[in-house]
Amino acid sequence: MVPNRRALFGGLAAVGAAGAFPATGSQLAPSGFDRVADGPFKPSWESLNAGYAAPDWFRDAKFGLWAHWGAQCVPEAGDWYARNMYLPGQRAYEHHRKTYGHPADTGFIDLYPKWRAENWNPDDLLDLYAGAGAKYFVAMANHHDNFDAFDSKFHDWNSVRLGPKKDIIGIWSKAARRRGLRFGVSNHSAHAWHWFQPAYGYDPEGPRQGQRYDAFKLYAVDGKGKWWEGLDPQQLYGGPAMVMPDGLASVAEANKWHEANDRVWTETAPLSNPAFTRQWYLRCKDLIDSYKPDLVYFDNFDLPLEQAGLDIAAHFYNASRQWNGGKLEAVINIKPEHGRLVPGVVPDVERGLRSEISPIAWQTDTCIGAWHYDREIFEKKRYLPASEVVHRLCDIVSKNGNLLLSVPVRPDGTIDSEERRIVQEIGGWMARFSDAIHGTRPWVIYGEGPTEVMSGMFNEAKQKSFTPADIRFTTKGKSLYAIALGTPRDGQVSVKALAKGGPHARRPVRRVTLAGDNAPLAYRQDATGLHVSVPERAMHPFGVALRIDGVI
């Protein structure tokens, strides 16, 4: 007898009583599928924290690129479109109403057939990304809109059945690995149960006042004769967990309700819908087992959905050891609040930095634009410039971190000309100086210079630009690298930390070259620092990286 997911609720990822929705054919789990892989890791924080350390491949890679790509890119109107289109007053609501129709008539469900990926060339993009110095590539497996971009065994709303009708994750993974890149997936769907609740709401004012949006009205029986016939929209929208009450009479009142209810970011499992938690667990385990990623990024402040997330973490670590002859090669990213260091995972700082060297490996994830493609950013040339990407990369690496950079993808699967130029410019700097980045470790201090760096998530917009006087240090073997974050003035890089007699210059400098170059550079070392003359031909507008021998 093959149990369905309702019958499995008492197993792993314990979620309580029977689920809110009946199982469909794609949600049948083979006997034993839900078991955590055998190995030393148990599904508890005590076990994860005691037994995990970031693998060397991740600590050596330093730089990854990310395709944060799905149906929310179809409108080319920025991030969180699938939620914000149901919130009157939001840019996405106005865009949707003018472009596709009122959300009571045309919901986000109707955009999935418009995501066709018709010009997608993963080989071209991954050649570009590898050429930019990326050593790992991450693809979005699902977002808060609850749609799987892979051949999902437990969720009919997926990219093989609908939209592109392609196994997006499978194709990405093969193309990345052909280029020697480590492959990762990002999983954001644990928040779908509350994030998508505005789709059950209504306009609190105006000509369509009180008319419920599509999620409130659509069920499997309504699909007859439609493109989604045989599917249940409630499985996509997550079910009515916290429906906006009747009677709200202003946008301000509705916004206040959403902020207090479904906008609250929580990692707890929804008690009213244990089926959601169980299905999330099966989908995530299927993703890991089918594609064997090196990295799983969770868009969560803790492991998702309580015990379900702990089960997945233990399974992934144990399975990774089995895939790799007993060697743990797996990385899990979560975003611990307030910059906490969590040794059982690799903590991630979204759109932010750290002010000091971390004792454990960590990662920043950010984007050159909006997380989902936004045409306005392209047209107004508001992307993060390549120089700032390189400077942040150097700062992050000097503090024991990695940078995962998203390059937004258009709905057809291409990137625009500005994005391509930025990636190529990053590659131009990395082609010359990546020896100071890849395979390095922090020094005793991360750097020097006038520009203050603030710790924390979501504060990168407040970060001042770095200057040529800002220096960041990395090490490799017996070599110290000093990276100037800008074009040196008068052709000279001065490193105050290497002043004769200072606490960090315990030995005299013996030789200075550019990173990746054997030609010696002229220098002098005195009581004010190490002063290196860099010839004009060796300059780069983003800055230069020096290799210094003798001091370590």
- Same domain, yes or no, for 400 and 538? no
- Same domain, yes or no, for 487 and 366? no
One-letter amino acid at 305 equals L
Q: Note whether residue 5 is domain-resident.
A: no
Amino acid 330: pLDDT: 98
- Same domain, yes or no, for 502 and 373? no
One-letter amino acid at 441 equals R
Assess whether pLDDT exceeds 60 at residue 119. Answer: yes
Amino acid 20: pLDDT: 41
Q: What SS3 class is residue 220?
A: helix
Q: Note whether residue 484 is domain-resident.
A: yes
- pLDDT-based confidence at residue 22 (cuts at 50, 70, 90): very low
Q: Note whether residue 112 is domain-resident.
A: yes
- CA–CA separation, 414 and 408 (whole Å): 9
- pLDDT-based confidence at residue 339 (cuts at 50, 70, 90): confident
- Same domain, yes or no, for 42 and 149? yes
Kindly report the CATH number assigned to the domain that includes residue 99: 3.20.20.80
402: phi then psi, degrees, rounded to nearest 5:
-120, 160
Amino acid 465: pLDDT: 96
Assess whether pLDDT exceeds 90 at residue 427. Answer: yes
**What tens digit of pLDDT does each residue of 482-519 get?**
999 999 888 999 999 999 999 999 899 999 999 999 99
Q: Note whether residue 89 is domain-resident.
A: yes
- Same domain, yes or no, for 460 and 386? no
> Which run of H or E residues covers position 367?
strand 362-367
Amino acid 489: pLDDT: 84
Q: Note whether residue 93 is domain-resident.
A: yes
Lowest-confidence pick of 3-7, 111-115, 165-169, 290-294? 3-7
447-448 and 471-476 as β-strands: parallel, antiparallel, unpaired?
A: antiparallel
- CA–CA separation, 375 and 378 (whole Å): 5
Question: Higher confidence at residue 494 or residue 4?
Answer: 494
Look at the chain and count its residues: 552
Report how many domains make up the chain: 2
DSSP 54-76: --HHHHHH-EEEEE--SGGGTT-
Q: Note whether residue 229 is domain-resident.
A: no
Taking the chain, what is the end-to-end CA distance rounded to the nearest angstrom?
Answer: 65
Q: What SS3 class is residue 346?
A: strand
Q: Note whether residue 221 is domain-resident.
A: no
**What tens digit of pLDDT does each residue of 57-107 get?**
999 999 999 999 999 999 999 999 999 999 999 999 999 999 999 999 999
Assess whether pLDDT exceeds 60 at residue 294. Answer: yes
**What tens digit of pLDDT does each residue of 206-265 get?**
999 999 999 999 999 999 999 999 999 999 999 999 999 999 999 999 999 999 999 999
Assess whether pLDDT exceeds 50 at residue 23. Answer: no
Q: Note whether residue 431 is domain-resident.
A: yes
- % of the chain residues with pLDDT over 70: 95
Angle at 213 between CA 210 and CA 217, to 5 degrees: 105
438: phi then psi, degrees, rounded to nearest 5:
-65, 135
User: What mean pLDDT comes out for the span 267-293?
Assistant: 96
- Radius of gyration of the chain measured on its C-alpha atoms: 25
Task: Show which of 372, 401, 436 is a domain's final residue.
Answer: 436
User: What mean pLDDT comes out for the span 529-551?
Assistant: 97
Residue 106 Cα distances to 215, 242, 263, 375, angstroms: 10, 21, 23, 22
- CA–CA separation, 145 and 189 (whole Å): 7
Strand partners, 367: 406
- Same domain, yes or no, for 418 and 452? no
- Same domain, yes or no, for 374 and 460? no
> Which run of H or E residues covers position 484?
strand 479-484
Kindly report the CATH number assigned to the domain that includes residue 462: 2.60.40.1180
- Same domain, yes or no, for 432 and 454? no
Assess whether pLDDT exceeds 60 at residue 195. Answer: yes
- Same domain, yes or no, for 397 and 324? yes
- CA–CA separation, 11 and 84 (whole Å): 36
User: Which residue range forms the structural domain that includes residue 463?
Assistant: 447-549
Task: Show which of 383, 409, 436 is a domain's final residue.
Answer: 436
- Same domain, yes or no, for 109 and 160? yes
Residue 58 Cα distances to 48, 53, 135, 333, 512, angstroms: 18, 11, 9, 12, 28
Lowest-confidence pick of 22-31, 270-279, 410-419? 22-31
Task: Show which of 436, 462, 485 is a domain's final residue.
Answer: 436
Amino acid 518: pLDDT: 95
325: phi then psi, degrees, rounded to nearest 5:
60, 35
- Same domain, yes or no, for 297 and 168? yes
Q: What SS3 class is residue 468?
A: coil
What the block records as the tokens of 189 is 């769907």
Describe the crossing of helices 168-178 and 122-131 by its angle, rounded to 10 degrees: 40
Amino acid 14: pLDDT: 32
Amino acid 31: pLDDT: 80
- pTM of the model as a whole: 0.94
One-letter amino acid at 49 equals N
**What tens digit of pLDDT does each residue of 25-40 get?**
455 678 888 899 999 9
Tell me the average pLDDT of the chain: 94
- Same domain, yes or no, for 330 and 414? yes
